[in-house]
Amino acid sequence: MSTSGAFGVQILSSGVALPQRVVTNRDLESLMDTTDEWITKRTGIRQRYSVDPAKGENTRTLGLNAAKQAIERAGVTGPDLDLVIVATMTPDMPTPATAPLIAHALGTNDAGAFDLSAACSGFVFSLNTAAALIGSGAYSTVLVVGVDLLSRHVEFSTRGRSTSVLFGDAAGAVVMRRCTDPAKGLLAQAMCSDGGGATHLYIPCDKDNMLCEDDDPEAFPLDQLRMHGQQVFRFAVSKFPNLIAETLDAAGLGPNDIDHYVCHQSNARILEAARQRFDIPTEKLRVNIDRYGNTVAASIPLVFDELNTEHLIKPGQKVMFLGFGAGLTWGSSLWQF
Ligand code: ACO
């Protein structure tokens, strides 16, 4: 947990991109043994978006479209960017990273560009990294993209129903810039991990590299997400309140001082438990998982973009971003706007 910043940092704008295809719970009922009622009651999800690779929808194009919207809304152009960070656990290929491709398509002038892999915590880790680099004076205008296509790693069948109903594909982006007011920017942040919990949520690539001895490599295709849902649920419900409390402590603030809690959307029940624990009013903790499912690194910018386009984020407000996911990883980013 730490605070930072010699210079002020602002989040200037946001953007999102969604695939064309909507997959409702009713659609899934025709593909597997599941029901709208089971999914809605357990998770709060009613629909999600899914890419169609034949239409050219992939990590790069989705991320690029979100980035274009964010930089247009910020009133900047590609050459203004000096760093591009893409949070993703589902790049189109192992190398090159997605970020240089997006930076090139935006017409940056040799901007630094790298991917950051921290699953559902990836966007928060990227925000913290960008804020530190801007706050130190090393960079001035940074694009952060969160994009994930989990539809590539789940199976739309009864065998894959415990994961395929949960996830959706999406991209979100923000443009961040150095400013002259040092009061603006990060008030506190945390980036944490526990690799001891890696087996709860992982995608194996070959049968000799299974993380969990109990997982039969023949029983389920490699390259498909393995998830122990109840362990992940317990991890999230226990870590989430501690993360909020520790971040508030680090900034010397109380729960009521925060204007918006922008949280990773993994399950409406997990968010509701945290909301009740701190007595956070519903309007301060937006839940949009019903429309998008769990979009991994994209879920936080998707929520932020809704608040931003509805003009609910105002100068002087305090916004806490919170993420947790595979790794296991978890992190927070508390901002003064
Ligand atoms: N439809 C119908 N039945 C189902 C489905 C489905 N889609 N999926 C599982 N079931 C069945 C199971 O087979 C099981 O049946 P059984 O009792 O006959 O064995 C029953 O429903 C209960 O299954 P559980 O897994 O115990 O259900 P649970 O109440 O734990 O809910 C859920 C499952 C929703 C996945 C929950 O555990 C959860 O949300 N966990 C957190 C998951 C999460 O957040 N993952 C993403 C992390 S983010 C990242 O970094 C990628």
pTM of the model: 0.94
25 lines ligand 1 (CB under 6 A): no
Residue 147 has pLDDT above 70, yes or no: yes
288 lines ligand 1 (CB under 6 A): no
**Residues in the chain, overall count:** 337
Over pLDDT 70: what percentage of the chain?
99
Ligand 1 site-directed mutation target among 42, 164, 295, most atoms within 8 Å of CB: 42
Distance 162 CA to ligand 1 centre (A): 5
Report residue 5 as tokens: 């910043």
Specify whether 311 is catalytic: no
Ligand 1 atom nearest 119 alpha carbon: 50
Report residue 33 as tokens: 């043994």
The catalytically annotated residue of 25, 65, 120, 200 is 120
Whose tokens are 């089971």? That residue is: 38
What average pLDDT does this structure show over 38-64? 97
CB 144 within 8 A of CB 174: yes
147-161, 224-238, 299-313: range with lowest mean pLDDT: 224-238
Q: Which residues pair with 8 in a beta bridge?
A: 179
Distance 48 CA to ligand 1 centre (A): 17
Residue nearest ligand 1's atom 20 by CA? 162
Residue nearest ligand 1's atom 30 by CA? 230
Q: Which residues pair with 170 in a beta bridge?
A: 148
List the 112-116 sheet strands across, edge first. 8-17, 170-179, 141-148, 83-87, 112-116
Q: What Å distances lie between residue 215 and 103, 200, 228, CA to CA?
A: 39, 11, 11
317 lines ligand 1 (CB under 6 A): no
Residue 263, amino acid? C
CB 327 within 8 A of CB 193: yes
Nearest by Cα to 111 from 72, 69, 67, 62: 67
Residue 169 has pLDDT above 60, yes or no: yes
Q: What Å distances lie between residue 172 and 133, 242, 300, CA to CA?
A: 21, 26, 8
pLDDT of residue 211: 80
pLDDT of residue 4: 52
Residue 2 has pLDDT above 80, yes or no: no
What average pLDDT does this structure show over 32-39? 97
168 lines ligand 1 (CB under 6 A): no
266 lines ligand 1 (CB under 6 A): yes
The string of pLDDT tens digits covering residues 247-288 is 999 999 999 999 999 999 999 999 999 899 999 999 999 999
Q: What is the DSSP string of 201-236?
A: EE--SSGGG-S-TT--TTTS-TTS-EE-HHHHHHHH
Residue 306 has pLDDT above 90, yes or no: yes
Q: Which residues pair with 71 in a beta bridge?
A: none
pLDDT of residue 3: 45
Residue 123 has pLDDT above 70, yes or no: yes
Domains of the chain: 8-179 (3.40.47.10), 185-336 (3.40.47.10)
DSSP H helical segments within 158-311, as ranges? 161-164, 229-251, 268-277, 289-292, 299-309
Specify whether 264 is catalytic: yes
Nearest by Cα to 119 from 84, 155, 167: 167
